[in-house]
Structure formats: C-alpha cells, structure tokens
Amino acid sequence: MAEDVFKALADPTRRRILDELVERDGQTLFEICTRLVTKHGLSLSRQAISQHLAVLESAGLVLSRRQGRYKFHDLNTEPLELIVTRWLRPDTRESTHEDPPVQRLRR
C-alpha cells in the first residue's frame, strides 16, 4: 500500500489536487478542475483530472461519495499517517508490520 501512496504523490498534478482538497474538502470534479485552472493555471481535461483522482483513490488518499447525481471527493490522511508512524514514531508501530526491529539489524 505504501508503494501506491508514493506513486500517487510522485506526480505534481496529484499533489496539487491534494492541496486543493486540504483547503476545501468535499469537492466535485468540476470544482477541482476549476480551482486547478484558476489557482495553478493547469488546463487539463476533466478526463485527465478524473484519472488522477482514480490514482489517488486507489492509493487511499482520496475517498469519494455520491450524493444524488454528484460525486464528492474527500481527502483521507490515514495512509500518510501510517507512513509517518512507520518512520518518525517507530515505537508506536503496528503489530502487523513485517520489518524487523532495529535491534535485530545491529547484530
């Protein structure tokens, strides 16, 4: 799963989409496209932005929900929190993590 997160974050357009969702969560595709054009000068097609959103969704960074005929996109920070916990707070590691503790590596 971490590989998907890093792949999703590798693209500057996807990072800008996440920045926009940080500023205002729960946007439609139209709103995201409009904000990318007006604030960043990105004139990508709706299909291109939709594909970027699909990558972000598959990485778990964006969650989508439908209300009527609208689809809203929300930021999900949980995958980023797992990465931060893994490297910045190793003492609070999940029990399912497969990497050996640091003490075993120093033998």
Look at residue 100 in the predicted model and tell me its pLDDT: 45
Beta-carbon contacts of residue 10 (< 8 Å; ≥ 6 apart) = none
Interatomic CA distance for residues 35 and 46, integer angstroms = 12
Statement: residue 41 has pLDDT above 70: yes
Cα dihedral value 19, 24, 25, 29, nearest 10: -80
pLDDT, tens digit (0-9, with 9 covering 90-100), for 51-73? 999 999 999 999 999 999 999 99
Statement: residue 28 has pLDDT above 50: yes
Backbone angles phi, psi at 11, to 5 degrees: -95, 130
Stated pTM of the model: 0.79
Statement: residue 107 has pLDDT above 80: no
